[in-house]
Amino acid sequence: SLNASIVLLPGDGIGPEITEQGRRVLQKVAELFGHAFTFESQMIGGIAIDETGDPLPQETVNACRSSDAILLGAVGGPKWDDPSAKTRPEVGLLKIRKELGLFANLRPIKMFDQLADASPLRPEIIKGTDILFLRELTGGIYFGPSGREGSGDEESASQAMVYSVPEVERIVRLAAKAAQGRNNRLTSVDKANVLEPSRLWRQVAARVMEQEFPDVQYDVVLVDAMAMHLINRPADFDVVVTGNMFGDILTDEASMLPGSLGMLPSASLGSGGPGLYEPIHGSAPDIAGKGIANPLATILAAAMLLRHSLGLEAEAASIEKAVEQVLSDGLRTADIARGGDSIGTVAMADAVINSIK
Ligand code: NAD
Ligand code: IPM
Ligand code: MN
């Protein structure tokens, strides 16, 4: 029996609706397997700006640091989208990732046979797809020097993409190790034909692979071509490692393989401290407050939390099995129903909770 303290960061839009379902699922697992999880909610994003002026209040950082793991919903929305605003909800998310040193974002693209109809792609294309993306999360263009220069017609804006050797080494090592535990294939995605940091990335990745992982099948693909391969021959990839922005874009694209952003969880890990778990999707302002958001990405993120931060593999698997069960039972939220019958956020979570064994 395990005691664990979990911080909830519901955030904005559908964030609170789905985080609550993740919490309920974790609570059910605790009861069933005899663990004691304590939950503490903290503010991040737009709601934190409204309440404190800061998208990541110090209190939130402190609570996260002293927790065992963090479950986050989503941040952002039209209310805070003014491009001339002093700060933004998204800043809070970038800061917590940086503060906790969460340089590796694991985004598994797992297919559910039951959802073959939910994908806009043909079944024979998506068949056999199982990709693990490793997105570098605390470097690259997201964190490079930025600014506005000049004024009026002369004004310009810049944001630099910066990667250092150790930053590339650590994410490539993690990706290569992940490949060894899977199908032993690693693809590195970059834009080395144009961007200097991508050329550094490619050199460092090649050296790490040659010297430390000669047994892993390794190749490189340019990001624009990768965008195309992903929907043409997704089953050919095993582990994919890439920089912060490329990973952001390619995984939203990859969500169309299983059929919805609402199905994809992620784990953000560093070296040692608490991990942060969240769906890859955002705050979905278009459906916020309607009770129709798909909670499964968050519920699957809760499973990753149990596996990666708490070492509870059987418990994690019990959630994943329950998700498969409700899909087999034909239950669908609107995003995966493709026009057919659908149920709401809470009903979907209820079904998962009742299926956990
Ligand atoms: P989004 O991911 O919020 O939504 C894109 C589309 O997918 C929308 O049509 C939405 O309704 C749908 N969708 C997303 N999640 C869903 C779910 N669980 N169930 C059903 N449908 C779902 O992306 P966006 O609209 O471009 O961004 C909205 C806001 O979210 C922005 O402020 C953005 O910065 C923020 N955002 C936050 C995160 C995060 O907190 N990790 C991630 C991405 C975007
Ligand atoms: C994500 C989101 C974030 C990102 C934003 C909201 C900062 O899109 O988690 O994928 O770009 O990393
Ligand atoms: Mn994203």
Residues 43, 92, single domain; the answer is yes
**75: pLDDT confidence band, cut at 50, 70 and 90?**
very high
- Nearest C-alpha to atom 4 of ligand 2 is from which residue? 248
In the beta sheet, which residues pair with residue 40?
A: 7
Q: Give the distance (Å) from ligand 2 centre to CA of residue 214.
A: 33
Residues 125, 253, single domain; the answer is yes
Residue 153 in marked binding region: no
User: Is residue 208 in a domain?
Assistant: yes
Q: Ligand 1 within 6 A of 12 CB?
A: no
User: Is residue 66 in a domain?
Assistant: yes
Residues 161, 246, single domain; the answer is yes
CATH number for position 277: 3.40.718.10
**What does the pLDDT read at residue 111?**
95
Residue 283 in marked binding region: yes
User: Is residue 159 in a domain?
Assistant: yes
Phi, psi for 277 (deg, rounded to 5): -120, 135
Q: Is the dihedral of CA 227, 233, 235, 240 positive or negative?
A: negative
User: Is residue 146 in a domain?
Assistant: no
Residues forming the active site: 142, 191, 224, 248, 252
- pLDDT tens-digit series, residues 181-197: 999 999 999 999 999 99
C-alpha separations of 307 from 202, 224, 266, 269 in Å: 31, 33, 12, 12
Please tell me the number of the ligand nearest to residue 283's CA: 1
In the beta sheet, which residues pair with residue 106?
A: 134, 267
Residue 80 in marked binding region: yes
Residues 267, 200, single domain; the answer is no
Residues 170, 238, single domain; the answer is yes
**73: pLDDT confidence band, cut at 50, 70 and 90?**
very high
**What does the pLDDT read at residue 235?**
98
Q: Ligand 2 within 6 A of 93 CB?
A: yes
Of 112-126, 169-183, 285-299, which range is least confident?
Answer: 112-126
- pLDDT tens-digit series, residues 218-254: 999 999 999 999 999 999 999 999 999 999 999 999 9
Point out the ligand 2 atom lying closest to the alpha carbon of residue 266.
9
Q: Give the distance (Å) from ligand 2 centre to CA of residue 248.
A: 7
- pLDDT tens-digit series, residues 301-337: 999 999 999 999 999 999 999 999 999 999 999 999 9
User: Is residue 144 in a domain?
Assistant: no
Question: Residue 334 sits in which domain range?
Answer: 1-115+260-357
Q: Give the distance (Å) from ligand 3 centre to CA of residue 281.
A: 6
> How much is the average pLDDT of 156-164?
98
Q: How many CA atoms lie within 13 A of 333 on its CB side?
A: 26
**346: pLDDT confidence band, cut at 50, 70 and 90?**
very high
Q: Give the distance (Å) from ligand 2 centre to CA of residue 162.
A: 18
User: Is residue 147 in a domain?
Assistant: no
Residues 287, 236, single domain; the answer is no
Structure tokens at 96: 């917590």
CA distance 222 to 116: 28
List the strands of the sheet with 265-269, edge to edge. Answer: 36-41, 3-11, 69-74, 275-279, 265-269, 104-110, 130-136, 239-242, 185-190, 217-222
> Please, which contacts does 77-85 make with residues 24 or more away whose CB atoms are closer than 8 Å?
77/12, 77/13, 77/46, 77/283, 77/285, 77/288, 78/285, 79/46, 80/12, 80/45, 80/46, 80/49
CA distance 62 to 71: 15
CA distance 18 to 295: 5
Which of 222, 257, 292 lies at the terminal end of a domain, its last residue?
257
Contact in structure between 355 and 322 (CB atoms under 8 Å): yes
- Nearest C-alpha to atom 1 of ligand 2 is from which residue? 280
Question: Mutual orientation of helices 313-328 and 15-33 as an angle, nearest 10°?
Answer: 120
CA distance 264 to 256: 10
- pLDDT tens-digit series, residues 22-38: 999 999 999 999 999 99
Residues 98, 226, single domain; the answer is no
**Kind plus residue range of the DSSP H or E element containing 100:** none
Q: Ligand 2 within 6 A of 250 CB?
A: no
**What does the pLDDT read at residue 145?**
98
Residues 347, 299, single domain; the answer is yes
C-alpha separations of 100 from 10, 155, 174, 244 in Å: 18, 35, 17, 16
Number of domains making up the chain? 2
CATH number for position 230: 3.40.50.2300
* Residues 6 or more apart in contact with residue 56 via CB below 8 angstroms: 44, 48, 91, 92, 95, 96, 99
User: Is residue 140 in a domain?
Assistant: no
- Average pLDDT of the chain is 98
C-alpha separations of 354 from 33, 261, 275, 282, 335 in Å: 14, 24, 27, 27, 22
Residues 268, 253, single domain; the answer is no
CA distance 323 to 355: 8
Residue 252 in marked binding region: yes
Point out the ligand 1 atom lying closest to the alpha carbon of residue 81.
32
Torsion of CA 202, 261, 275, 246, to 10 degrees: 20
Which of 257, 274, 292 lies at the terminal end of a domain, its last residue?
257
Give pTM, 2 decimals: 0.98
**What does the pLDDT read at residue 202?**
99
Q: Predicted ipTM?
A: 0.99
The strand ranges marked E within 199-255 are: 217-222, 239-242
Q: How many helices (H) and strands (E) does the chain have?
A: 13, 12
Which of 224, 257, 290 lies at the terminal end of a domain, its last residue?
257
Point out the ligand 2 atom lying closest to the alpha carbon of residue 244.
12
- pLDDT tens-digit series, residues 268-288: 999 899 999 999 999 999 999
User: Is residue 181 in a domain?
Assistant: yes
Residues 4, 70, single domain; the answer is yes
Residues 160, 248, single domain; the answer is yes
Residues 252, 304, single domain; the answer is no
- pLDDT tens-digit series, residues 96-122: 999 999 999 999 999 999 999 899 999
